[in-house]
């Protein structure tokens, strides 16, 4: 991985949608032993063979995984991410909280990527060791977008959107409201509103699958001790109200839809061995638009995997589902 294919100037905060076909027109084929740099914080790594040109994903069942890994370098050092990919072989893997910084991220940070995947990284630019998202896909998207077109939200590498024939896949690492709720006004009065509007704009065009650490336990069933956390970031009434509004705008929490009474968590604080005592929060989600819900075959929290304070979540979905109104 020693060749940088392209570098384009871009004003700070400007969100760009990259059409994969445009790369090919410039004879920059899908090679993961080379790198395309969109700007210093947004990178695409390609494998050493061309991806087939599918008109659509040629399967009726797709495994999409999403995992807050709490630091890419740490989990790679332990080998847990590599083992998960080898064992589960997800068709698409979304990563949250990579903590990769633009200035220190190098091509050697991507040598672990298995053959057969194209990888997209969106790194934070304002703070080192913070935030960041990535997506690995076995299938070539039509386009990829880093951010949501609003500068104040797009400096921390929190979202990546991949466009496929029948749907958009959005991975998101939502902002935490912070200690003493110092970030609550930004979270609930700015981010949540703008992100909901972004998703609904996509929904007007195609089905939408949203996955990620949304930093909100939506209902009391989603947290082991609700009454003592009403003023804790991630479980305030304000954050839960915004989650209600997102669902009311036309989205479905797939895990809760399929398991309405199941109390299962996706996040456990590393302090006090809380995973062993099953004292956690469910803050990692797969949401789909209501019209796309029939495409969902299963929505899981994988509690067999270690390596982070979060568990991987998994969605099994028909990627070529066509709503009768489409």
What is the domain partition of the chain in residue ranges?
3-317
Pairing of the two strands 284-289 and 207-213: antiparallel
Distance between CA atoms of 218 and 234, rounded to whole angstroms? 8
Q: What is the pLDDT along the chain (326 residues), one digit of tens a residue?
A: 222 222 233 334 455 576 655 544 443 333 334 455 556 677 777 655 555 555 678 889 999 999 999 999 999 999 999 999 999 999 999 999 999 877 776 666 777 888 888 899 999 888 888 899 999 999 989 899 999 999 999 999 999 999 999 999 999 999 999 999 999 999 999 999 999 999 999 999 999 999 999 999 999 999 999 999 999 999 999 999 999 999 999 999 999 999 999 999 999 998 888 999 999 999 999 999 999 999 999 999 999 999 999 999 999 999 998 775 55
Is 173 marked active-site?
A: yes
CA distance between the termini of the chain: 42
Distance between CA atoms of 210 and 64, rounded to whole angstroms? 11
Distance between CA atoms of 78 and 75, rounded to whole angstroms? 5
CB of 150 closer than 8 Å to CB of 142: no
pLDDT at 113: 86
Distance between CA atoms of 315 and 293, rounded to whole angstroms? 12
pLDDT at 6: 28
Task: Output the six-digit token pair for 230.
Answer: 């009403």
pTM of the model: 0.89
Which of 173, 198, 267, 285 is the catalytic position? 173
Which of 91, 154, 192, 213 is the catalytic position? 213
Is 103 marked active-site?
A: no
pLDDT at 114: 82
Distance between CA atoms of 286 and 317, rounded to whole angstroms? 11
pLDDT at 262: 97
Task: Output the six-digit token pair for 47.
Answer: 């494998």
pLDDT at 54: 59
CATH number for 3-317: choose from 3.60.10.10, 3.90.180.10, 3.40.50.720, 3.40.47.10: 3.60.10.10
């Amino acid at each position: 991985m020693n060749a940088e294919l392209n570098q384009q100037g871009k004003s700070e905060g400007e969100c760009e949608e990259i059409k994969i076909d445009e790369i090919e027109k410039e004879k920059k084929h899908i090679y993961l032993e080379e790198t395309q740099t969109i700007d210093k914080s947004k990178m695409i790594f390609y494998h050493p063979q061309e991806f087939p040109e599918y008109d659509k994903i040629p399967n009726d069942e797709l495994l999409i995984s999403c995992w807050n890994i709490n630091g890419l370098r740490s989990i790679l050092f332990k080998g847990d991410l590599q083992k998960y990919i080898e064992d589960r072989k997800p068709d698409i893997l979304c990563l949250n909280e990579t903590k990769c910084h633009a200035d220190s991220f190098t091509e050697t940070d991507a040598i672990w990527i298995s053959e057969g995947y194209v990888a997209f990284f969106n790194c934070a630019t304002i703070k080192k060791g913070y935030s960041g998202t990535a997506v690995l896909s076995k299938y070539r998207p039509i386009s990829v977008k880093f951010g949501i077109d609003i500068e104040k939200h797009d400096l921390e590498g929190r979202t990546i959107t991949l466009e496929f024939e029948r749907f958009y896949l959005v991975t998101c690492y939502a902002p935490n409201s912070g200690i003493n709720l110092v970030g609550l006004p930004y979270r609930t009065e700015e981010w949540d509103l703008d992100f909901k509007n972004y998703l609904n704009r996509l929904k007007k065009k195609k089905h939408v699958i949203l996955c990620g650490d949304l930093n909100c336990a939506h209902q009391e069933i989603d947290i082991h001790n609700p009454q003592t956390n009403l003023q804790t970031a991630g479980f305030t009434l304000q954050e839960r109200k915004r989650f209600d509004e997102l669902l009311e705008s036309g989205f479905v929490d797939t895990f809760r839809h399929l398991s309405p009474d199941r109390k299962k968590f996706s996040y456990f604080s590393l302090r006090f061995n809380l995973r062993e005592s099953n004292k956690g929060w469910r803050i990692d989600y797969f949401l789909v638009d209501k019209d796309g819900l029939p495409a969902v075959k299963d929505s899981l929290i994988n509690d067999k995997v270690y390596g982070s304070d979060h568990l991987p979540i998994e969605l099994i979905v028909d990627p070529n589902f066509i709503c009768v109104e489409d």
